[in-house]
């Protein structure tokens, strides 16, 4: 991802909405379990790393990422594919 996108330049509406949820734990917490793609969570993690770099927020985002990744890998296994 480009550094310009992390700072807010050239974001689409979805990305802008995701970034606004990073303002505080109170705004992130309600949407955390609605994040349904690994890409959205990675976007938020990169944004957090490039800005405030709050370890507790990064840890919680990583936990959500791990849940999504695990679900994807289980689907792949049930389809007879190895996840790697």
Taking only the tens place, the pLDDT of each residue in 7-36 is 556 788 889 989 999 999 999 999 999 999
d(CA 57, CA 22): 8
Helix, strand, coil percentages, rounded to 5, for the chain: 70, 0, 30
Decide if pLDDT at 1 tops 50: no
Decide if pLDDT at 76 tops 60: yes
Task: Provide the whole-model pTM.
Answer: 0.81
Q: What is the pLDDT of residues 30-74, one digit of tens each?
A: 999 999 999 999 999 999 999 999 999 999 999 999 999 999 999
What pLDDT, on a 0 to 100 scale, did the predictor assign at position 30? 94
d(CA 7, CA 27): 19
What pLDDT, on a 0 to 100 scale, did the predictor assign at position 2? 44
Q: Are 68 and 44 in contact (CB under 8 A)?
A: no
- Tokens standing for 32? 């955390």
């Amino acid at each position: 991802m480009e550094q310009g996108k992390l700072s807010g330049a050239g974001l689409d509406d979805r990305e802008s909405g995701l970034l606004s949820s990073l303002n505080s734990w109170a705004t992130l917490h309600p949407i955390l379990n609605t994040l349904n793609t690994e890409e959205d969570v990675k976007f938020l993690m990169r944004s957090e790393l490039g800005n405030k770099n709050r370890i507790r927020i990064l840890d919680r985002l990583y936990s959500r990422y791990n849940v999504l990744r695990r679900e994807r890998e289980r689907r792949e296994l049930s389809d007879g594919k190895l996840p790697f």
